[in-house]
Amino acid sequence: MDRVEKIFNQNAENKAERKEFFQDEIEKSLMENFYESLDLQRVEFAGDQDMLFKLNCHYPQVYAIAQKIAPDNKVLQLAAAYHDYGRAFQYREQGDFNDCGIGSEHDHHVVGYNKFLEDAPKLLSKELPEMAIEDSLKPGGILYTVGRTILLHGLRGKAFEAEFAELSNYPEAEEVVDAVSLIDDIANGTQCVDYLLREGQERKKNVSAGGFIPDENQDLKTVSPKVMELFRESESFNRNAECKTYPDYYIFGCFLATRNLKNPTTREITKSLMEQPISIVSHDTKDGEDVLVSQEFENVIMAFNHLFETTMEEADAKEASKILSDYYEFGEIR
């Protein structure tokens, strides 16, 4: 964590000399191809709200946070932009973002890593000398760092022990992986309210073996006492093991925000993101047909409170709102 704290605190202080003459060109070429690909995907997925959320909200915010906390660290910014490279391929195959277990053939980490290793040299082959590409693919290089970020983000202590052990030999790459993991967590916590209700309405897309929601509990509006206590503590917990109802799941989504409001390293940037306007896109019925409707909110806190009030028993909604308010105002429960 010390390395990640350094990135969050260094800003313009990060002005280490670049060692390889071709690095800037690799970054430039990859980024140009990345944005071209996003534009094509926006056309391809024009009718898919979940994929559009990734393209229009999640990817830009993760990239923007990386730019804000480390304006001179171009490799970190590149890794942040590409961290969910597997999502489009996953969505094409399945129509959802179900990883079907960490490390499975459907896991967006694995899909993205394999596709990136396949695609990056092709994207760069007409732009750069072959030696530049080969050197960057070596451990510690740009493509290595971006690829390892795609594979390992958010998974420290959960999976890929051998890969993390290897990564520790390359501290600059490890620093990027850990920083993007934290940035991704901040973005998820401050944006997830947009899709939480929609996911509850589309439960068939989210339930899988070992998942978090038993069929018989789909209509319950109560929060499990243990989940509420875990939310109050805002320490990490296992969603699949602890969440029994959709209100539990909504609490877990908000926990992603309160955990970063509680953390001194991420508190200020999380607060600033919580103050931004946001919309909730969900399903409704009009003239007997299912339609998507958008509700606009002045800030993320108001959106979460609306979610609590409309999906939970009154007492649970009030308690959840109080917990969120305390972490936003004070960084702790008062």
Query: pLDDT tens digits for 1-30?
Result: 677 777 777 654 443 444 444 678 899 999
Q: Is 71 helix (H, G, I), strand (E, B) or coil?
A: coil
Residue pLDDT, tens place only, 271-325: 999 999 999 999 899 888 989 999 999 999 999 999 999 999 999 999 999 999 9
pTM of the model: 0.90
What confidence tens digit (pLDDT) does each residue in 74-103 have? 999 999 999 999 999 999 998 888 888 899
What are the tokens at 270?
């999380």
Residue in 281, 299, 312 with CA at minimum distance from that of residue 49:
281
Give which of 63, 75, 58, 57 is closest to 20, Cα–Cα.
Answer: 75
User: What is the C-alpha separation between 27 and 219, in angstroms, rounded?
Assistant: 48
For the record, the structure tokens of 282 come out as 């969900």
pLDDT of residue 14: 44
Q: What is the mean pLDDT of the chain?
A: 90
User: Tokens for 151?
Assistant: 């594979």
The H or E element containing residue 144 is: helix 142-152
300 close to 193: Cβ distance less than 8 angstroms = yes
pLDDT digits (tens, 9 = 90+) for 33-76: 999 999 999 999 998 999 999 999 999 999 999 999 999 999 99
Q: How far apart are CA 292 and CA 201, in angstroms?
A: 11
Residue extents of the structural domains in the chain: 2-187, 192-330
Return the structure tokens found at 311. Answer: 């999906």
Q: What is the pLDDT of residue 17?
A: 42
In the chain, DSSP assigns E strands to 278-286, 289-297
For residue 265, count other CB atoms closer than 10 A to its CB.
Answer: 16
d(CA 112, CA 116): 6
**What pLDDT score does 241 carry?**
86
Say yes or no to pLDDT of 114 above 80. yes
